[in-house]
Structure 1
Amino acid sequence: MQEARRFCGDPRAALDLGRALRRILLETAPVLSSPPVVACIGTDRATGDCLGPLVGTFLRKRHPGWPVYGTLAEPLHAFNLPETLEIIRFKHAGRPVVAVDSALGASDSVGSIYVRKGSCRPGSGLNKNLPAVGDAYLVGVVNVGSGTALDHIALQNTRLYLVWRVAEVIVEAIEIGIGKQQWEGMAAAASADAG
């Protein structure tokens, strides 16, 4: 499994994670004519679980033409994940999917961000049986997990500042990995041709 890990406070975190994401995307889909789908998993009802929706909100605001699912206004969570994945498969057939999710981990990994090739299993730390998501995924460790029912409490008692900071780094890494200049240039060219 390909993987990169950086701490959110590392000044090179976004660049290194973005480059790793780009390598994975190039292996998954060497020729892309449009940006990958970004599926940002989580809910706004628990601070620790709002990492995905926060990333989705930032991306949707900065890149309104990108296919981004999961925002603070319209979260992508356990109740709508299966049907949303069907919509993605139908509407964006052939495009790779980049998933974003939060996780609990060991105390020395809090604030770490991982980018990995393959699919993430949302909710697996809380014993939820949800479908796998993504061809690549970014996970931010937002608090300490124990693997017990107390993990729900940990998600509720996570510092918003940490979630916000991890989200900022993930957004920048995705922009680097997807190549925001490439897609913005294509959108501008398409607008000029239409005008």
Structure 2
Amino acid sequence: MRATLSSTNDFRIHYKENNAIWKLSSLFLQHIPFDTHEIIFFCIGTDRSTGDALGPLTGSILSESPIFPFSVIGTLENPLHALNLQHHIQQTQLDNPSAFIVAIDACLGQGSSIGQLLLHSGPIHPGKAVGKELPPVGDLSVKGVVNIAGFMEHAVLQSTRLHLPFEMSRIIARALQLAYNRHKS
């Protein structure tokens, strides 16, 4: 398997693919302006649902890294979720109107897509799988397919094994760190 281009601005790669971190970092290098803008990472989700913990897990790893200098909103300690997302979007627009936002979130999909990391040049629509109307956010979206969509989405997210979002968050965080280090050198 390899990273594939599924439409003009969409990429998908399985987190277990050989060299996934390197390939994902190459995509991040192409799509994140590490030297031109202030970059903020919106790591969306909650620690109260194993399937929806991808964002906060990724945010925690990134925010604890001494070699990752960018702002991270959304960690296990302080999740970015439906109740505070609008506030953080508005605050970012006031404080950093030209910031480049990378939004990271879990999503549901087809069984054959579980484990896929999806990159999209454009905003993410958080809460869509569970019927929530939340504002779109992000200049670049990173979604991780953690389970199957189509029936009882809340229960599916609650019963998702934590191992998958945990491993996917490690791949995303390592790829972002590698992309930034490759950019610096």
TM-score of the pair, normalised by structure 1: 0.84
Query: Match for residue 4 of structure 2?
Result: none
Corresponding letter in the other structure for 1:9: K
User: Alpha-carbon deviation of 1:41?
Assistant: 0.2
1:38 to 41, 57, 61: 41
Structure 2 residue 17 is the aligned partner of structure 1 residue 10 = yes
Number of residues of Structure 1 aligned to a counterpart in Structure 2: 177
User: Alpha-carbon deviation of 1:65?
Assistant: 3.8
Q: How does 1:1-195 map to 2 (within 5 A)?
A: 1-26=8-33, 31-32=35-36, 34=38, 36-63=39-66, 65-146=69-150, 148=151, 150-177=152-179, 179-180=180-181
1:139-169, CA deviations, whole angstroms, 9 ceiling, x for partnerless residues?
Answer: 00011111x4x11111011111111110011
**Structure 2 gap ranges (5+):** 1-7
1:56-87, CA deviations, whole angstroms, 9 ceiling, x for partnerless residues?
Answer: 00000004642000000000000000001111
Alignment partners' CA distance in 2, 1:181 and 1:60: 19
Corresponding letter in the other structure for 1:142: V
Asked whether the 8 Å contact 2:57–2:166 carries over to 1, the reply is yes
160-169 vs 86-95, which deviates more? 86-95
Q: Secondary structure at the match of 2:17?
A: coil
- Judged with a 3 Å threshold, the aligned counterparts in structure 2 of structure 1 residues 60 and 105 are, in CA distance, closer, same or farther, namely same
Alignment partners' CA distance in 2, 1:108 and 1:79: 31
**Structure 1 gap ranges (5+):** 186-195
Alignment partners' CA distance in 2, 1:173 and 1:155: 25
Q: As a proportion of its length, which structure holds more helix?
A: 1
Alignment partners' CA distance in 1, 2:23 and 2:11: 8
Alignment partners' CA distance in 2, 1:6 and 1:53: 21
Q: As a proportion of its length, which structure holds more strand?
A: 2
Between the aligned residues of both structures, percent identity stands at 32
Q: Secondary structure at the match of 2:76?
A: coil
Alignment partners' CA distance in 1, 2:52 and 2:112: 19
- Note the aligned Cα RMSD (angstroms): 1.9
